[in-house]
Structure 1
Amino acid sequence: MRCREVVACWDDMRSGAEPRREHVLAHLRACADCQAAYAEFEGVAYCLSCLPVAPPPQSLVPRIMAHIREQCEQLHVHESVSVAIYQAPIGRLLVAYRDAGITAIRVDRGEELHELVAALERRIHAVALPLQQHVPAWVRQGLEAFFSGRSDVSVPLDLAYLTEFERAVFEAAARIPRGEVRSYGWLASEVGRPNAARAVGQALANNPIPLLIPCHRVIDCKGRLHRYVYGVELKRRLLDLEGYQQEETRAGMRTS
């Protein structure tokens, strides 16, 4: 064994948990430097073990709990969401919602249901309640309106857990008319950050409410569909569903 490997084993040596104990002892017998260092280590460890264990101050636990509560409030992990399955024309959707509105939508890509729920919980920092049999009427009506192209039905969205920049990007994306597209640069200008096209793209890549926040209507400055978290084919299918004609609109696409 090398000296460095032996030093890494010293803590486990004292507890008797080191499986290579005999090899370590053999090295110590042959290496005077490690032998002296180990003796010093044992002396310090013994002195530390003799120190009395001081109880934590009474103020420590309340301070820790206050810090945990503060972090939970920032991440909204103390909140829960209802979840239900909606069978859409593009496949199964997992929809999370609260009284304030729809919180998240996950498109099923052949995952197990528990994987869909876990991914949704991670994105919105909330705990999913037991799966509901059906989405509420207001959620169903909003999704039906999206897929049928109706504009007379609006559905509330809960974006409270997002950053100010993310909310600005998603609200701007929601203003892109059905059947039209805009570039990342256009969206960056809309939120007052004309040089932040890449940051806009990153925000859209983490869009928690696809479809209703139509990030599929955002393409690159050359008119290409570019990336989509659920695949370019689904992006093309959604745009086709909305009546977008790529060749006809590329020249007139707004990029700034």
Structure 2
Amino acid sequence: MRAAGLCTFDTPIGSCGIAWSEDAIVSVQLPDVDPAATLVRLRRRHPGFDTAAAPGWVQAIIARIQALLAGGRDDLADVPLDMRGEPEFNQRVYAIARAIPPGRTLTYGEVAQRIGEPGAARAVGQALGHNPFAPVVPCHRVLAAGNAGGGFSATGGVATKLRMLQIERAQIGDEPGLFD
């Protein structure tokens, strides 16, 4: 049986955190102002979890996240996530976001249409603002109307979102990027 735990790990955008249960990822924390702050935020979310060395299966996921944040193209769609406690609406939004490949984007309105609720763009934004799995659930790939940055709840806000899209060499909307 795999034990639950949490740890931090270095990435090109800063120190991220990850928490796991016996068989799935419980949350991923994008960088805070420094590694200690990242760990504090992760511990606050998971007070019953101890800091631990990541088991092999979690180490493999960490390596994939590190590669993605270095410009890799892994969509992380097969990473097991423990979504117990997440509202059903949010889970539907997260499923659509997970289907957006690296380097591509959708708008909040497009995600709302894809879940069958075309008037729910604002609710989509709120669900993504509560996403406990970024970047495994790539909320940074969802933009406001007109492909504007919109919001981003991670430290650094929209600047962090745009940096992550830049690392992915993102194509905004339906038009190919300059170097695609």
TM over 0.5: yes
Q: Is the 8 A contact 1:174 1:212 kept in 2?
A: yes
How far apart in 1 are the matches of 2:90 and 2:75? 24
Correspondence for 2:114: 190
Counterpart AA for 2:163: R
Picking from 214, 222, 242, the partner of 2:146 is 222
- Structure of larger gyration radius: 1
1:226–1:232 CA contact under 8 A, matched in 2: yes
Deviations 1:20-72 (A, max 9, x none): xxxxxxxxxxxxxxxxxxxxxxxxxxxxxxxxxxxxxxxxxxxxxxxxxxxxx
Shift of 1:81: 4.3
Q: Determine helix, strand or coil for the equivalent of 1:213.
A: coil
Q: Does 1:178 align with 2:97?
A: no
Paired residues in the alignment total 165
The answer (yes or no) to whether the contact 2:15–2:31 under 8 Å persists in 1 is: yes
Number of the residue aligned with 1:141: 60
- 1:116 alignment partner in structure 2: 41
Q: Say if 1:188 and 1:195, in contact at 8 Å, map to a contact too.
A: yes
**Paired residue for 2:161?**
235
- Whole-angstrom CA distance in 1 between matches of 2:148 and 2:104: 13
Q: Which runs of 5+ in 2 are unaligned?
A: none
More helix by share: 1
Query: C-alpha displacement at 1:118, in angstroms?
Result: 4.1
Alignment of 1:64-213 (within 5 A): 81-110=4-33, 112-113=36-37, 115-121=40-46, 127-132=47-52, 134-146=53-65, 147=68, 148-150=72-74, 154-213=78-137
8 A Cα contact 2:4 2:20, kept in partner: yes
Question: Percent identity of the aligned residues?
Answer: 28
SS in 1 for 2:135: coil
Distance across 1 between alignment mates of 2:170 and 2:127 = 23
Deviation at 1:129, TM superposition (A): 2.2
Secondary structure of the 2:145 match is: coil
1:150 Cα deviation (Å)? 3.3
Per-residue deviation, 1:177 = 1.3
Cα root mean square deviation, aligned: 2.3
| 2:89 partner SS | helix
Change (3 A) 1:115 1:198: same
